[in-house]
């Protein structure tokens, strides 16, 4: 290679580098694919842990309220036993006080064993952390390449935190995880419609519902203990509810596409096509 050719080649590299820095800021299709994967997984964890957190709070509040009720009943009934000359009534009161006290002790021990308070505290901190991280990354992703921070800067700032949030997570049993997905798929399709993996994997919600019901109602005894026959009667008119998420996405796309044809500057919300890459 001659000296003049080396100078031209060096200038071309400089120009190319300037384009990368000023317009693309180091972003390309491969980096964008990784960012999409991170955002999908962060959104998935946000939704799952959000529902599981409030489910755990509901269970803890239920048992805590029972403790309050049994303690109040025990204290109230104990007032009746003073100056009581009826032996049968006194015996009945003592038995009731013993039962309520025993129930209070057992429930307190059960809550302590299940570590509801510790789990809720851990989930709350994780949920706040991952929601903030998701919001920060999403705000960057919605910007065009030339307006974003440089890819290396983004990687140094967020990569370790994203990897930590997606890999080091609060523990959830497989049954609780599957039940949470089942609840979201069946009863909250408007939330699942725009979240991974419901929006990307065909029939994900329907398959999640079927597999969970097969697991939950496996065997005649499980059907009795989980009130399968009663729930079947109540849900007999909602057999197609698992398709609601896909229907929401389809109808919304048709609506926003028709609207955007009349308004060139309109960008439909929740759409994967709303991120304009320049």
Q: What is the pLDDT of residue 190?
A: 83
Last residue of a domain, one of 145, 172, 199: 172
Residue 162 and residue 46 in one domain: yes
Residue 39 and residue 129 in one domain: yes
Determine the Cα–Cα distance for residues 249 and 246; give it in Å rounded to an integer. Answer: 5
Q: Which domain holds residue 17?
A: 1-172
Q: What is the pLDDT of residue 257?
A: 56
User: 3-state secondary structure string, 116-137?
Assistant: HHHHHHHHHHHHHHHHHHHHHH
pLDDT (tens digit per residue) in 155-183? 999 999 999 988 888 888 888 999 999 99
> Which DSSP category does 150 fall into?
P
Q: What is the pLDDT of residue 252?
A: 55
Domain count, the chain: 2
Q: What is the pLDDT of residue 11?
A: 37
Q: How confident is the chain (278 residues) per 10-residue block, as mean pLDDT?
A: 44 39 73 90 92 93 94 85 70 88 93 91 93 92 87 91 88 90 88 84 85 72 57 45 55 54 43 37
Residue 119 and residue 232 in one domain: no
Q: What is the pLDDT of residue 244?
A: 57
Select from 104, 103, 78, 105 the least CA-distant residue to 93: 78
Determine the Cα–Cα distance for residues 74 and 15; give it in Å rounded to an integer. Answer: 82
Residue 81 and residue 163 in one domain: yes
Residue 100 and residue 191 in one domain: no
Residue 130 and residue 262 in one domain: no
pTM for the whole thing?
0.70
Last residue of a domain, one of 172, 192, 218: 172
Last residue of a domain, one of 123, 151, 172: 172
Residue 160 and residue 218 in one domain: no
Residue 95 and residue 198 in one domain: no
Q: What is the pLDDT of residue 82?
A: 62
């Amino acid at each position: 290679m001659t000296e003049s050719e080396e100078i031209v080649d060096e200038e071309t590299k400089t120009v190319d580098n300037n384009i990368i820095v000023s317009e693309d800021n180091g972003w390309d299709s491969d980096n964008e694919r990784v960012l999409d994967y991170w955002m999908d997984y962060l959104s998935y964890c946000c939704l799952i842990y959000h529902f599981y957190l409030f489910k755990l709070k509901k269970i803890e509040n239920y048992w805590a309220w029972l403790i309050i009720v049994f303690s109040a009943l025990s204290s109230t009934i104990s007032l009746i036993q003073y100056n009581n000359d009826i032996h049968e009534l006194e015996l009945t009161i003592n038995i009731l006080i013993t039962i309520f006290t025993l129930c209070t002790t057992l429930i307190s021990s059960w809550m302590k064993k299940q570590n509801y308070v510790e789990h809720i505290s851990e989930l709350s901190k994780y949920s706040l952390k991952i929601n903030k991280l998701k919001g920060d990354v999403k705000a960057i992703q919605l910007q065009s390449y030339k307006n974003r921070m440089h890819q290396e800067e983004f990687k140094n700032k967020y990569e370790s935190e994203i990897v930590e949030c997606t890999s080091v997570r609060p523990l959830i049993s497989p049954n609780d995880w599957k039940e949470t997905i089942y609840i979201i798929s069946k009863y909250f399709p408007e939330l699942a419609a725009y979240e991974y993996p419901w929006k990307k994997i065909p029939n994900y919600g329907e398959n999640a519902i079927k597999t969970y019901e097969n697991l939950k109602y496996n065997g005649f005894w499980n059907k009795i203990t989980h009130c399968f026959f009663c729930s079947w009667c109540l849900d007999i008119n909602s057999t197609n509810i698992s398709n609601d998420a896909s229907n929401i996405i389809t109808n919304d796309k048709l609506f926003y596409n028709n609207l955007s044809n009349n308004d060139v500057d309109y960008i439909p919300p929740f759409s994967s096509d709303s991120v304009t890459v320049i």
